[in-house]
Structure 1
């Protein structure tokens, strides 16, 4: 880095970093809380609109689809028009969508409202990480990401708890109405406390064109992939329709890659993947979240449906995962700033690996305190892995692309979660159907044969988690950051003609 760039970095005022984080953190907590809270309301929504439980899953599917499709395009658009502007517009859409959901006269109007709400969430998620990282000095990047991850953990654990309490005394519409209050606070705080010039002091005055081709291709490909993996129509995985959808996804992604490599101002600079640290860290992130999400997805079924534990008590047990993640995220952020991210990313994956094998052999009589210890260790491992890994990716990218790269890290997490949950559920269902038990999950605790089939599928699912996590651990060991990657490269370092790989 030249002396000019060092001087520019040194002149940035970071004294109001916690004010900026508070404004962004409120939106993070609220948006993540809404995502975890909606699961509690699905049965009430289905009953109110007189739709099947299969149909009501679209409330969740359209959320995953919209966020995944818009994440990277919104990140790139924010790099062009301004992070603060996209953040505030996203908050307005999210609040408006929440009101729209609560006032929906029919189920399909509600689905449209969920698309609007999720579009706002995608805009907030796409720029949130970039804004948090840029509000802190480069040597505190880990602490910034750790604080953000703690906010996400708070939102994740508070959603089901708050949702359950509200539904005991109020209709499901109240859940969406109450989201407007913290989002309004976040909007006011963001408007007055976020300063684009301080977050992006070296931002170019030249406005780049938006890559509509790349945005459309990636959006369609990711949307089709999310729908196919979620398989909302419950088609056989050997179905020609699913195979055809996956083939179309591959073709679209191939066209997207070709387009991005030829476009002068691409949405995502794919030549970043020539950087060994960047590419290994992204693949590690995908595999890591494929592993950690299986526990979050299957454990409620094990505790409530199989072991027969009351929902409230099960929520207390599951809370330990988010608690561990929040604690570890704070520690990992500060430690990785001081000692480097690689050791703590490996530590986190090792902790997840250590718990995945015992998890595979849980049974009907496994002591609940043992399960609680495993969940706490798994949560700690998730926190220790996520923060340093995210720091590695962001530290390997130019500041001019920080918005879209931050969106890419969130998209990678979402896709890893979708893949991990689909594989875990597919394995469990396949094991049960193969033994003749195609029954609702809430019956597996009463039927010894079905319970045994469930445990067979559970065991295979967690053995696969062991495989994902082992590969991720090897890749994390191979990811050796350069000393020069200690700070995000300033925007002025990379002009369009000097972007990675161009000549």
Structure 2
């Protein structure tokens, strides 16, 4: 996206943040990125215990995870736009407070449905934190270090994902399931303290002059988008890739909601998402690539446990150990990938990351079971390194030239594309795997059938990443052509 003249002038004349101030601000943003990923991953391991504690079936207990996921997905774009309107610092502080208080309520919940309600509130706070964290980078970090900052944020998200299951398991086995949620309270308090002290204050007249002159939030558009995303997320998560009457009805509702949302936004004086924003081909390509790549990454999480246990015969501890490698590799790759972005630029780094993912997926297509866990891990590491590299480069490229008054909503849309990819990947890649394995009950499938399912799933994954790579190359050539034309 190209910045407006005013935005470019503002960036050119604004003083560079002091190094120490930027470091502390980045620490606050890193913690704000860690908490949402930790909040979702730490709760999964507690579901069996919650089922026993509340004498509830798994279908009810899974709403502890779904409530958080739905609240985050449906509100993340609206949270980003609201930050642009009322002030990002003010709203981020409110989001951290909400997340922290909701974590306390989760730990004290006397009934399952109160726990689910508190998890929804926690997810709303997480949506604010996720939407606004990346939006702050442009105003707190020198431009030449933007890639490293984005890499660090990606690292913190991966650390939360990797740390959640092991930390959750220790807390459930020790103090009990309530400690899973209460452990987030002191982290939230620390994040609030750092953000309050070190994040730059909101401009008193941003973005629309006096408070009375600022555009009002687009309530119809926000509600329509939330309902549309909720219908889509429910269709993908409840059916787990199998669409009965309810699933098809939810998909139809999501399609109708998307059409109505576009019509409403075109007529709104202050739209939640400006339709003109999507005329930018580079932004469209980046959002599409983010969704495709996230869909593929989800395949490793959905397919991996079945392949490792059924085809390779690993015990539960071995499966958990192997599955932890991916998030750990992502955590280690983030900052180095950011340095590469700062050095050679976003376009080449994006293409390199997608190329690595493609090679890794193709290697998984041919992975023989005779090589055991190393034969599975080596391609997965390549996929994961490529994913972390792509995410850092893509996020940096999208956010680099966004005008200050639109950073929140663009960050929200970018995070939404990733979330939709993860949700879609859970359902679609799981359905591809089950169909290729030819088994309704994957826990009882033959090892050879599970191996076939893995090969087929990652053949589809390789095709999806190849599409993303084509988009990256085409977008890069288009941008280079525009630059050459502007210079001539």
Q: By how many angstroms is 1:236 displaced? A: 4.4
Q: By how many angstroms is 1:212 displaced? A: 0.5
**1:327 and 2:332 aligned:** yes
* Structure-2 residue corresponding to 1:473: 469
Report the Cα distance in structure 2 between the residues aligned to 1:387 and 1:404, rounded to whole angstroms.
19
- The answer to whether the Cα contact below 8 Å between 1:428 and 1:457 also exists between their aligned partners in 2 is yes
- The answer to whether the Cα contact below 8 Å between 1:277 and 1:392 also exists between their aligned partners in 2 is no
Unaligned residue ranges in structure 1 (runs of 5+): 445-449, 487-503
Farther off after superposition, 352-361 or 298-307: 298-307
Report the Cα distance in structure 1 between the residues aligned to 2:354 and 2:156, rounded to whole angstroms.
21
* Structure-2 residue corresponding to 1:112: 117
Q: By how many angstroms is 1:194 displaced? A: 1.2
Q: By how many angstroms is 1:391 displaced? A: 1.7
* Structure-2 residue corresponding to 1:135: 140
Q: Give the SS at the match of 2:300.
A: helix
Q: By how many angstroms is 1:387 displaced? A: 1.0
**1:259 and 2:259 aligned:** no
- The answer to whether the Cα contact below 8 Å between 2:282 and 2:475 also exists between their aligned partners in 1 is yes
Q: Give the SS at the match of 2:113.
A: helix
Report the Cα distance in structure 2 between the residues aligned to 1:47 and 1:38, rounded to whole angstroms.
15
Superposition TM-score, scaled by structure 1 size = 0.88
* Structure-2 residue corresponding to 1:427: 432
* Structure-1 residue corresponding to 2:486: none
- The answer to whether the Cα contact below 8 Å between 1:289 and 1:413 also exists between their aligned partners in 2 is yes
* Structure-2 residue corresponding to 1:13: 16
**1:42 and 2:38 aligned:** no
Deviations 1:234-278 (A, max 9, x none): 6942x2332222122111101111111221211111211111111
* Structure-2 residue corresponding to 1:501: none
Farther off after superposition, 18-27 or 423-432: 423-432
Alignment of 1:32-431 (within 5 A): 32-197=37-202, 203-206=207-210, 207-232=214-239, 236-237=242-243, 239-431=244-436
Report the Cα distance in structure 1 between the residues aligned to 2:324 and 2:250, rounded to whole angstroms.
37
Report the Cα distance in structure 2 between the residues aligned to 1:8 and 1:71, rounded to whole angstroms.
26
- The answer to whether the Cα contact below 8 Å between 1:27 and 1:182 also exists between their aligned partners in 2 is no
Q: 1:322 to 1:4 in 2, by over 3 A?
A: closer
Q: 1:25 to 1:8 in 2, by over 3 A?
A: closer
Unaligned residue ranges in structure 2 (runs of 5+): 484-488
Q: 1:387 to 1:182 in 2, by over 3 A?
A: same
Report the Cα distance in structure 1 between the residues aligned to 2:8 and 2:366, rounded to whole angstroms.
55
When the two chains are superposed, the root-mean-square deviation of aligned CA atoms in Å is 2.4
* Structure-2 residue corresponding to 1:494: none
- The answer to whether the Cα contact below 8 Å between 1:133 and 1:144 also exists between their aligned partners in 2 is no
Superposition TM-score, scaled by structure 2 size = 0.91
- The answer to whether the Cα contact below 8 Å between 1:278 and 1:396 also exists between their aligned partners in 2 is no
- The answer to whether the Cα contact below 8 Å between 1:87 and 1:124 also exists between their aligned partners in 2 is yes
Q: By how many angstroms is 1:175 displaced? A: 0.9
Q: By how many angstroms is 1:427 displaced? A: 1.9
Q: 1:4 to 1:97 in 2, by over 3 A?
A: closer
Q: 1:172 to 1:114 in 2, by over 3 A?
A: same
Alignment length (residue pairs): 474
* Structure-1 residue corresponding to 2:440: 438
Report the Cα distance in structure 2 between the residues aligned to 1:59 and 1:131, rounded to whole angstroms.
30
Report the Cα distance in structure 1 between the residues aligned to 2:61 and 2:366, rounded to whole angstroms.
33
